[in-house]
Amino acid sequence: MENDRLHDGYQKDTSFFHSNNDNENIHILNGLKEDFNLVSGKNIFPVNVFPPMIQKLVGELETTLNFSPDYTSASILYAVSVSIGNRIQLKVKNSWLEKSNLYMVLVGRTGDVKSHSVSFCLHPLMNLDKQNFDQYLLKKKEYEQLPIEEKSKTTVPVLRQLLLNDFTPEAFVKAHYFNPRGIGLYTDEIAGFFNSFNQYRKGSEEESYLSAWSGKPIIKNRISGEEMRVDNTKVDIIGTMQEAILSSVFHSNKLKNGFIDRLLFVLPHKYVDNRWNDLDLDEKYIEWYSEFIEKSFYIAENSEIVLEFHTEAKEYLYKW
């Protein structure tokens, strides 16, 4: 998909893939560059896989708000993945189920509205989180007003979230514990998120995200005695990054332990003209998209679905 191609402009300036300090970094980053260039221009995001209304939305966002179709399409995939969580899985074999975990990095130039694309596509999920937060505050207030003897018989209200954008490693595990269907992590500048790994405890945080991507359990034992365990992990990550700092972010263990291989790098196949215009997005697209994401969420919320490959689809995958 997107991580296997670059716009022609990126081919002319590949300095951001080089490191002067570590030969292994140079080798791996140049390998990444080579992967991009091998199929440059041939691996355009297949917008036609989307329903017609989403195809139209992607085009309208490019025309009116200068959103790159690549950024928009990737962000929609992320929003759907968060909305379905671990409630919808894909059967590869009898003992092999896959979830839609996505770790995405939108890479581009300064000012090409990467963050705006993500924010627009996550807005329906943010609304769901706001509704959950309002309900939590109401239940918390009711709980606090209960007599002491009643509190011992009543479950303490907890905040259930779909998205996190400012969190510690413990807060991440706690949020997933209270929302076992899955958590979406997002940040405007994802470089800071990666660079903060392991500042609490060496090796711990990065290993947690490596395990979460593979759907392995996350177990936290704390001094306070409050143990937390998430078995059916489902974590999605999205963020933006400027092309010039790629090589400074992915170094050391991030290149050696397979972390970088779990990331889907999204680079636009063309730059969108960012000049201002008087065109505006029709409200009907905003309303339809919100309904689409909310419907995806509630379908998954009220059921557990295991999808199976059509024979032709499986043959296509194996050939690819």
Task: pLDDT band for 248, please (50, 70, 90 cuts).
Answer: confident
Q: Are strands 183-189 and 235-242 parallel, antiparallel or unpaired?
A: parallel
What are the tens digits of pLDDT across the range 121-174? 999 999 999 999 999 999 999 999 998 888 888 889 999 999 999 887 788 888
Is 272 within 8 Å of 73 (Cβ atoms)? no
Q: What is the pLDDT of residue 112?
A: 82
Q: Are strands 263-266 and 103-108 parallel, antiparallel or unpaired?
A: parallel
Q: What is the pLDDT of residue 99?
A: 93
Q: What is the pLDDT of residue 265?
A: 87
Buried b (16+ CB within 10 A) or exposed e, 37-50: eeebeebebebeeb
Is 12 within 8 Å of 40 (Cβ atoms)? no
Angle between helices 69-84 and 283-301 (to 10 degrees): 30
Give domain limits for the chain: 2-319
Is 3 within 8 Å of 34 (Cβ atoms)? no
Give kind and range of the element (H or E) at residue 96: strand 96-98
Residue labelled with tokens 């708000």: 65
Spatial distance between the Cα atoms of 315 and 106, rounded to a whole number of angstroms: 30
Q: What is the pLDDT of residue 38?
A: 41
* Span 179-196, average pLDDT: 89
Q: What is the pLDDT of residue 271?
A: 72
Task: pLDDT band for 28, please (50, 70, 90 cuts).
Answer: low
User: Which of 42-56, 116-130, 279-293 is predicted with the least confidence, judged by mean pLDDT?
Assistant: 42-56
* Span 285-312, average pLDDT: 94
Q: Is the pLDDT of residue 285 over 90?
A: yes
User: Which of 5-14, 43-52, 186-195, 256-265 is predicted with the least confidence, judged by mean pLDDT?
Assistant: 5-14
What are the tens digits of pLDDT across the range 59-104? 999 999 999 999 999 999 999 999 999 999 999 988 889 999 999 9
pTM for this entry: 0.84
User: Which of 36-40, 49-53, 285-289 is predicted with the least confidence, judged by mean pLDDT?
Assistant: 36-40
Q: Is the pLDDT of residue 23 over 70?
A: no
* Span 114-122, average pLDDT: 94
Q: Is the pLDDT of residue 17 over 60?
A: no
Spatial distance between the Cα atoms of 107 and 244, rounded to a whole number of angstroms: 9
Is the pLDDT higher at 51 or at 109?
51
Please state, rounded to an integer, the average pLDDT across all residues of the chain.
82
